[in-house]
Amino acid sequence: MYKLNSGFRWTCSTQADTEVELSTFESEEKDSDIQQLEAQRLNHKAHINHNEIISNQKLTKSASEKQLEYLLSNLLKYGVLIASSIVLFGGILYLIHHGSEPAEYQVFLGTPSEFRSPTGVVTAILAGSRRGIIQLGLLILIAIPILRVIISFFTFLLQRNFVYVIITSLVLLSLTYSIFGV
């Protein structure tokens, strides 16, 4: 008779009269299909290990590649931090002096001509313009990726990797065209 106990398990109150014996039979000869499967598994495992060794060799970077990567990452990281700090500083100064002025949205006035060129921005900063400081930070922010492409171009040129020289020169030409509209 079976009963449900408190642990939610079925228990039997009667004893079993039969014994069960477990025996296994080993075949003296392995099946040829099993031998083939084991051989294929071992060959596949050896092939995977060989491919991993080759791929690990390809993933290892040379010292010049690591140095270029380090230089470019620091250029981007610190360049963005410096540009953002300059824009923040200029924005704070601008709000201190012009924050209480009412905004006039009725008439749109474009960017003054003094802020349309890098020399005009420097002249405006020397004249004490707070907007000039903000514009300088934005110019630095725009110049950082361009400087990255220029450094990559000269590095690939020194490494004589002409496929990447052509690619970076095309990128540099498109950036120059988009900025100056030549």
- According to DSSP, residue 6 is labeled T
Query: Residue 45 domain-assigned?
Result: no
Query: Residue 167 domain-assigned?
Result: yes
Give the domain range for residue 155.
72-100+110-180
Identify the burial level of 134 via C-beta atoms within 10 angstroms of its C-beta, where 0-12 means exposed, 13-18 middle and 19 or more buried.
buried
10 near 3, Cβ under 8 Å? yes
Query: Residue 49 domain-assigned?
Result: no
Provide the domain count of the chain: 1
Contacts of 96 (CB under 8 A, 6+ apart): none
Q: What are the backbone dihedrals phi and psi of residue 39, each rounded to the nearest 5 degrees, phi first? A: -65, -40
Query: Residue 32 domain-assigned?
Result: no
Query: Residue 84 domain-assigned?
Result: yes
Query: Residue 132 domain-assigned?
Result: yes
Q: What is the pLDDT along the chain (182 residues), one digit of tens a residue?
A: 556 566 566 666 666 566 656 665 555 555 677 777 777 777 777 667 666 666 655 567 778 788 888 888 999 999 999 999 999 999 999 999 887 888 777 888 777 878 888 888 888 888 888 889 999 999 999 999 999 999 999 988 988 888 999 999 999 999 888 887 75
Helices and strands counted in the chain (H then E): 5, 2
Query: Residue 22 domain-assigned?
Result: no
Residues in the chain: 182
pLDDT one-digit tens code per residue, 85-128: 999 999 999 999 887 888 777 888 777 878 888 888 888 888 88
C-alpha span between 80 and 145 (Å, rounded): 10
Query: Residue 123 domain-assigned?
Result: yes
